[in-house]
Every structure is written in C-alpha cells, then in structure tokens.
Amino acid sequence: DVTHLVDLSKEKNMTVTIHLEGWPSRIPPMSEPICLICKDPRTCDRVLTLTSGAVYRISFLCKDLSRLRITAEKGIGCMDIRWCQRKIYSLSVPKAITRLPIRLHKFIWKLLATDLINVEITSPSLKLQQHVQEQRCNTSYSYSIVSATPETELNVGMFCPGGSIEKIQMRNNITISLKTFGKGFINESIPQDLKMSFVPHIKDECTFTVSPNPKAKVYLQTPNWPYSLPPYVSVSWFIVVPSKQTAHLGFSQDRMGIACETGRAYVNIKEETPGAEEIVRREDELLPQPRNMHHNFWVNVSNCKPVDKTQLTLQFWVTFADKQIDLGIILAVVAGAGVLTAIGLTVYCVKKKKKKIQNPMVGVYNANVNTQMPGKKSLFRKGRQNNESHVYAVIDDAVVYGHLLKESNGSVAPEVDVYRPFDGPIGSLPPSPPPLSFRKDIKHSSNTEEEPLPLMDTDQDTYTFAHQKSKQSEDNGDANKKDKGDTSVPLLEDKERDGLVE
C-alpha cells in the first residue's frame, strides 16, 4: 500500500474528514466494494477525521479512489479587536490537502466575532463575481457566503473568481464555504487570493466594493436571492468609476415590488462628489431610469417589514463607456482661455509702459530727474535759506577782490584764491543781512509755504559776506557791541555808500 503524509502541525482549529461520496446522508449498500482509510496499519475505517497540530501517515484500502471525498473545516475567531484588527488571514486550501490523491469536496471557514467586530473579505487580484441568472459562474469552484445570527440568517450570495467585487464587509458571524466542481480545482487552486480580516463595526448589514472591468457589463443583486431581503436589513454597493470613463446605471425592473406593513423601503443613489444630488425612491414609487454616473457612487437598498407574500428582490447593472466631451464645453474652455490671455497681455503691457515712464533708461539725460541723493527730512530740518551752513564769517579781502587789487597801482599784488585765516575778534551774533537793494528781486516766502527739500540749492539762496575791520573798529568793538550788538558791516553796503559819496 502507498502511504501519504498529511502535515497539519502548523494548522490551528482545523479538521479534515475523508469519506465516501455522498456522506453523511448517503449510506453505501452492502453490494458496493468496501473502501477503507487507514491512519495506521491497525486503524482503518470508512470515515477518517484528522485534527490540526499533528502529522499523519495515511493509506487507502480502496480500488477506486474517485469514490472518496475530503471535507475540511477551519475556525478563525476574534474576541478583542485590538489583537486581531491588523491581522490578515489567508482563506486558501492548505497544500497538505491539495497534495492528496482525493478530490476536495468542500472547505468551510467559520469566522466568529463579537457584536462590535465585523468581517471583511477581499480578493485583490482575482476579484469576485456574483452568480446571477444573467451572469453564471463557470469556474471549477465557488464561494458560498452566509451571515448568521441566532435570530436571522442572511445568504449573501454565491461568488466565483474573475469578477468585479474587490471587497465585502459583513456583520455578525460569517460562514464561507468553498465548493468544487470537477477535477480542475487542483490546477486552478494555485492562484487563490481570498483574504479575510476583522474590522470595527459597520453601519449596514453588508457592503460591497465593486471595481468593474470597463469592457464588461456587471450584474448585482440583493442578498438572499431568490428569496426576500430580511426585514429592516440595509445593503450598500460602492461602485468605482475610472477617471476617463462614465458609468451607466440601470435597474432590471420598474418597481421594488413590495408593500410595507411597517416602515418604508428605500433605494438611494448618490455620487461621491461635493454637492452631488441624492436620488431617493420609496417602495411605492418608480425606480430611477437608466442614468450616467461620472464619479464613484453609492447604491443603497433598505428594506421594511413587508406584508406577507411580498418579497424585496432587486437587481441592477452597470456598464462603462469613454467620456464624451461636449462641444459646447470645449468652446467655452477655449473662449475662457482666450479672454484670460487677453487680460494677461493687457495687464503686462500697462505695467511695462508704466515702468518705462517711472524708470528712464540709463545713459539718457533727463532734466526732470533729481540728481541729489535722497535724504530723510527728519535728519535735515532746515533748508538752505534758514540754515547758516553757507554763511562765511571770515573771508579775506584779498581772496574775494584780488583781481581788483591787481588792476590798481599797488606795488604788491596779493595772491588770488589763497585763503588767509582771520585772527581778529568775531562777534557772537551772525553777520547782518545784505542791503535792501541787493534783495529787491527776492520774493519773501509766506509762513504757509512748504519747507524746501533738504540739501537742495535754490535761486533764493542768500550769501552774506563779512570783511576784516580796521584797528579802529577793533578798538571800538566793545562799545558798538553794547549799542548795536553787531560788529560786522556788509561789504556790499559799504560799496553802495561809496558810490553815493562819489
């Protein structure tokens, strides 16, 4: 006899039962050849059950192994979400079972959790297809999903790989049964990708996340088909729409087909975009007509307590097409772009022209430009007219009138433009202003006249000169100082008097 190794040492909460086809309901007649399964040479039986945590070496006393089947069951539980929320469980058939020369009949996963913990099933690569009349499963295996509580049982549906459903979230305890059809399961079992995790409490009884193939038509229907959705149960579908496509949503019937004894039954449709309008229909209203959906959207079906013999069974479909850009939208966009371009050019030209006016080109003489270095008014509060910085208290006569002395008969010609310091006494008060005849053309500024800019020369600047006095003036300086308070006499005023005497 051939011995087969079955290693279940790394498995937990799992049982593997090897039995005849039709077990346990069918009992083989005595006329059929006996088919025994042995876990050791002395222990053989028609039904053999193996438990996890051990390694077995089994053999078969059977001429036709095709009469045998395998049924396995595995339990996964979560009593505290903190310990199992982030853990992902693989719902695939162990290799210890697939390597046996016996056909797998069914593999059952029982997912147990508390009331505040829910189950999430995902199929990232293969995705799941719901088995409906218009879209049947033709693979070698399928999944039957049932959500059960002590009070109610919800048959979520039958699913097979190769569809559009990426994720299913369900409340309560879940039972997932993998059932095979034919011998092809061994070859197709390699790419199994069904996974499960525990998630916090969800609002609806069941939520589907659907990401359809853009080239396929997807049919979806309410759980418990063909029987009615249980009373007060709410189910939702989240449909993902590709960015460059538009979804077309339609219902297979015109009405829900039920009458409510208590409460109301609703169908809600809403796109997942800001400001989207929500479409709501009650059980006594017509269902929405086929419509285009440009963004991801939700479809929700909520049941009431129906009148006897009325059932809520709803089916809808979704197709996709490339987005068609409206000609009016294109023209509006082009016109808007043209207007914005014109406005931008206008603003640019105006700013450029204003900049040219304000900032002349370097190297071009501009008489209107002030070449003075700008100064702060707070630092120079006096203008040139009321500032004494330009008044020279002592200037030698030879420096100012040297050219006149050169023309005279003097034997000694003084040096011109040579500064000679003044060693005599200087009065404490500033020199006297020039005579009226010298200032006759000067306009007096009113008190309200604005203060001139600092450090700027004007035509009204008055220069006062004081000349060196004689020794007699020096002797009388103190007396005059007492009488008049000023020892300096304007030079131009003396000249004017000399002219009158002559």
Which tens digits make up the pLDDT trace of 350-361?
Answer: 877 777 676 555
- Is the residue at 17 inside a domain? no
Residue 480 predicted with pLDDT over 50:
no
- Is the residue at 471 inside a domain? yes
The fraction of the chain above a pLDDT of 70, given in percent, is: 67
Contact indicator for 271, 341 with CB cutoff of 8 Å: no
Sorting pLDDT into bands at 50, 70 and 90, what band is 235? very high
- Give the residues across from 262 on adjacent strands: 305
Mean pLDDT confidence for 429-449? 47
CA distance 157 to 377: 89
The count of other CB atoms within 10 Å of the CB of residue 241 is 23
Please report the pLDDT score of residue 101 as a whole number.
92
Contact indicator for 462, 405 with CB cutoff of 8 Å: no
Sorting pLDDT into bands at 50, 70 and 90, what band is 49? very high
22-31, 83-92, 175-184, 447-456 — which is least confidently predicted?
447-456
Sheet holding 245-251, edge to edge: 218-221, 315-322, 245-251, 291-293
Residue 300 phi, psi dihedral angles, 5° rounding: -125, 135
- Identify the DSSP state of 289: P
Please report the pLDDT score of residue 323 as a whole number.
78
Residue 322 predicted with pLDDT over 50:
yes
- One-letter-per-residue 3-state SS of 406-449: HHCCCCCCCCCCCCCCCCCCCCCCCCCCCCCCCCCCCCCCCCCC
Segments forming the whole domain that contains residue 400: 389-442+459-502
Contact indicator for 130, 219 with CB cutoff of 8 Å: yes
34-43, 234-243, 427-436, 474-483 — which is least confidently predicted?
474-483
- Identify the DSSP state of 388: G
Q: Give whichever of 122-126, 160-164, 248-252, 256-260 has the largest mean pLDDT.
A: 248-252
Please report the pLDDT score of residue 445 as a whole number.
42
Cα separations (Å) of 342 from 336, 339, 352? Answer: 10, 5, 15
198-207, 378-387, 432-441 — which is least confidently predicted?
432-441
Please report the pLDDT score of residue 457 as a whole number.
45
- Is the residue at 476 inside a domain? yes
Mean pLDDT of the chain: 78
pLDDT tens-place string over residues 164-204: 999 999 988 999 999 998 776 765 555 788 999 999 888 88
Residue 471 predicted with pLDDT over 50:
no
CA distance 163 to 48: 37
Mean pLDDT confidence for 18-36? 84
Please report the pLDDT score of residue 335 as a whole number.
76
Residue 430 predicted with pLDDT over 70:
no
Sorting pLDDT into bands at 50, 70 and 90, what band is 451? very low
- Is the residue at 318 inside a domain? no
Contacts 24+ apart (CB under 8 A), 381-389: 381/451, 381/454, 382/454, 383/451, 383/452, 383/453, 383/454, 383/456, 383/458, 384/452, 384/456, 384/457, 384/458, 384/461, 385/445, 385/452, 385/458, 385/460, 385/461, 385/462, 388/430
Mean pLDDT confidence for 438-466? 45
- Give the residues across from 196 on adjacent strands: 89, 121
Residue 222 predicted with pLDDT over 60:
yes
Residue 502 predicted with pLDDT over 80:
no
CA distance 320 to 312: 27
Which residues have a Cβ under 8 Å from the Cβ of 465 and sit 6 or more positions away? 392, 395, 400, 431, 490, 491, 492
Sorting pLDDT into bands at 50, 70 and 90, what band is 287? very high
pLDDT tens-place string over residues 175-186: 999 999 877 676
- Is the residue at 430 inside a domain? yes
Sorting pLDDT into bands at 50, 70 and 90, what band is 132? very high
Residue 478 phi, psi dihedral angles, 5° rounding: -70, -35
Q: How many domains does the chain fold into?
A: 1
Residue 5 predicted with pLDDT over 80:
yes
Sorting pLDDT into bands at 50, 70 and 90, what band is 344? confident
Please report the pLDDT score of residue 129 as a whole number.
95
Buried-exposed string 363-389: b where 16+ CB fall within 10 A, e elsewhere: eeeeeeeeeeeeeeeeeeeebbeeeee
Residue 223 phi, psi dihedral angles, 5° rounding: -60, 170
Mean pLDDT confidence for 151-156? 86
Contact indicator for 122, 167 with CB cutoff of 8 Å: yes
- Is the residue at 174 inside a domain? no
82 compared with 324, residue with greater pLDDT: 82
CA distance 325 to 194: 39
Task: For the chain, count helices (H), then strands (E).
Answer: 9, 27
pLDDT tens-place string over residues 110-130: 999 888 899 999 998 899 999
Which residues have a Cβ under 8 Å from the Cβ of 283 and sit 6 or more positions away? 255, 256, 258, 259, 260, 264, 265, 266, 304, 312
What amino acid is encoded at 301 in this protein? V
Sorting pLDDT into bands at 50, 70 and 90, what band is 370? low
Please report the pLDDT score of residue 202 as a whole number.
85
Residue 10 predicted with pLDDT over 90:
yes
Mean pLDDT confidence for 257-273? 94
CA distance 161 to 169: 17
Reading the block at residue 393, the tokens are 């208290």
225-239, 309-323, 480-494 — which is least confidently predicted?
480-494
Residue 275 predicted with pLDDT over 70:
yes
Mean pLDDT confidence for 278-290? 95
Residue 349 phi, psi dihedral angles, 5° rounding: -65, -45
* Residue 382: strand, helix, or coil: coil
Residue 315 predicted with pLDDT over 50:
yes
First to last CA, the chain: 163
- Is the residue at 494 inside a domain? yes
CA distance 123 to 146: 17
- Is the residue at 164 inside a domain? no
The count of other CB atoms within 10 Å of the CB of residue 18 is 24
Please report the pLDDT score of residue 397 as a whole number.
56
